[in-house]
Amino acid sequence: MQFADHYRHTRRSLTEKIKNAVYQVFAPKKLPTIKSIGAWIEWKKLPMTKWAFEHLDDPIDPLLYSDENSKTYIESIIEKVFPDGSPSNDSTVFIMAVVTLFLDPHSGTVEMNEKILSPKMKIYLVRGCYI
């Protein structure tokens, strides 16, 4: 396997892991999974998908924890993707780009490729958004 093929495979595996983490974190809020290839268009229109997108930076349960101890939805997703430690800044930015594009009702896709992810990743890198 050549390096480029290996890189694509690794990125695809990580992207699937990120999407699964999104479903796990938002399961208590009843975010449904996408049932078929063409079903993503309707999935993006669901009120729960929009709610999840709009609340990524909100604490999951602010009533149970003080502000400093309450994790946000995006932090919880990152922890599920990297349960054994802190990801690099690049990995964090990649996760944030995948999650926001996946949930964004206006992005027009759930497909994740370099052409789609790179602009979003650059925005997060320039802003220094590493959580």
pLDDT tens digits along 32-61: 998 887 888 889 899 999 999 999 999 887
pLDDT tens digits along 102-114: 999 988 777 787 7
User: At a CB cut-off of 8 Å and minimum separation 6, what does 86 contact?
Assistant: none
Q: Is the pLDDT of residue 3 over 50?
A: no
Specify the pLDDT at position 126: 74
Specify the pLDDT at position 4: 47
Q: What is the mean pLDDT of residues 20-33?
A: 92
Give the residue with greater pLDDT, 115 vs 1. 115
How many angstroms separate the first and last alpha carbons of the chain?
34
Distance of CA 114 to the CA centre of its chain: 15
Q: What is the mean pLDDT of residues 70-94?
A: 88
Residue entry with tokens 């922890």? 79
